[in-house]
Structure 1
Amino acid sequence: MCSHNKFMPIACPHKVEQGAPFCIAEEPVDVPCGAFLYQRIEQPDQIPPPNENIIDIAILDMNHGWPNLGHDSIVHLIKDAACDILTILQSTGLSLRALSYDIRRTAIIPEKSGGRFRLYLGTGGPGHIDPHQNDGKYEGSQGIVENIAWEAPLFRLFDSIYADENSALLAVCHTFGVMCRWSGIARAVLRGPEEGGKSSGVLENILTPEGQQHPWFRHFAEMLPGKNRLRIMDSRLYDLILNGSLKNGATPIGFETVKIGGPQGKSVTMMEWVRDKGGIMPRIFAVNHHPEIIDRKRQLQILQRKFDHGEVTREWYEERLRLVT
């Protein structure tokens, strides 16, 4: 094994050969090691049967078909997780498989927790958090006309995850807002001119006292300026404003700052709903930014692939290119 840093040795021979700290396979289905599999779900007959030798992870794709970096970044992170435990997977004959469900356009929802899935990952996405508001005309709908059929069954899935202490839900951006709507803890408010409109770019969040004292996040806090300020990648039209008192153990972990270095703002950006059985690690947790978009080289690879394949316009490509460079 070799390593690109002192913390994580690289067991994947393909990474070693290419000298890259991440898998350079152009498409998820092209991974040469066999430890990672990927399936896109847009029709019911595309759902593969469970396999005792495959650990399935459900991706809740909330992008409504819009081009984005976040979904592919999450796929790559799962792929890298397979690389990190490659020797274990190979010695046991197991593989990780990401099943990506096109939630908002198809209303196909993954199975409830307790069966094939123990981990669910939610992506970002465009439009209003409340699908009833996405009529294609409202300013905050971003032109989306949405079928609301997915919302109720997705909320039932969230209920099942909450009730199952052996399952976890981690999410970003749009799914964060949907989870706030599901739990009733916060409401979405379109950012107006007084807030500077869309919040975009490398900005700042601030940990709450609960976040600083959290048995998991306090170790992260120790590495931060002032033990509470972190830089984040933001891209959102909506603030999530808490609805009074919180219930059932929900804990705000972070908020926006008014400006970098400024005071705490009103929009909650990091929320824990429940912890694991040991009371240490978040089991249901989400943020209103994009921690999945990491590693400049990987983002450039994803961007270039999307542009070369005609998935995005030059304008979209160049805007994201400026953001990651």
Structure 2
Amino acid sequence: MTATVHRLGSRPPASLDPMIAITADDMNCVNAVILDRMQSDIPLIPKLAGHLIAGGGKRMRPMLTLASAALIGYTGTRHHRLAAAVEFIHTATLLHDDVVDGSDLRRGKRTANIIWGNPASVLVGDFLFSRSFELMVEDGSLKVLKILSNASAVIAEGEVNQLTAIRRLDLSEERYLDIIGAKTAALFAAACRIAAVVAERSEAEEQALDAYGRNLGIAFQLVDDAIDYVSDSDTMGKDAGDDFREGKMTLPVILAYARGDEAARAFWMDAIRDGKSDDAALAEAIRRMRETHAIEDTLARARHYGQLAIDAIGIFGAGAAKDAMVEAVEFAVARAY
């Protein structure tokens, strides 16, 4: 079989609609599991969890599990509960992240920690993590359990790594990539790989799906980090410039600082290291990023990882599922344009 080569950006404007379409029936089953397993005799738990779970997210991670299963022709039902576990892991990390970051908005809505407070958000996040592990154990596969539990641990490590890198202008691009590879890409990779495990496919196919998810996750986060400086709260569903105000060392900052002259470096020291990050400083940061092509080059790197994701599934035959997964990469990268 000759692999079909697809070049990123060679299609019309991209959408998640094809992936939504091929996973729609399965996603109904996943949503039923999510609704059932977020219930509790403690009314605050489903109320708070439902605020985020029903808050308009694309459910991209569980969709990737379902799309990967469709790609390899899996016809069972185990992936439904596992996709729900993936979504619970993701939702739990969002609840915890919003507490750590002190975020006010998530998907255009007030965050759970703003409405119910930090303690409730952390504890409901813990509840969802526990539910995800129940679902993994019920599946009965030690390999699936190992993949998803490892991803959960790696995500936590990535978040701690990011926390220790706050306001560190000496952060290297390599360490930044380690951070986003852990905090974002690890779950994308696991979500895709487990489909091959339940379908009992070859190690090569497992690794191909893992590579697809991992590279897609890195591209996704690179774009997120770029659009924090070039979008607005209506588009992003969160406050523009949040990363800047929090002193997060994302790639646009790393590149702009490395390429700046003495005056530019003094500005970044004031803004990032010393926290002088008001609206005027944000506007100046964006100007300096554009001047040094930092945002443009961040997006170029996103396109690079997006192409790696597409290349990774080149071993699979043509079909609607593969087309949808390619277009999902196109969509992830095109969000910035």
- Same fold per superposition (TM over 0.5): no
Structure 1 length normalisation: TM-score?
0.33
Q: Which has the higher contact order (CA 8 A, sep 6+)?
A: 2
Relative to total residues, which structure has the larger helix share, 1 or 2?
Answer: 2
Q: Higher strand fraction: Structure 1 or Structure 2? A: 1
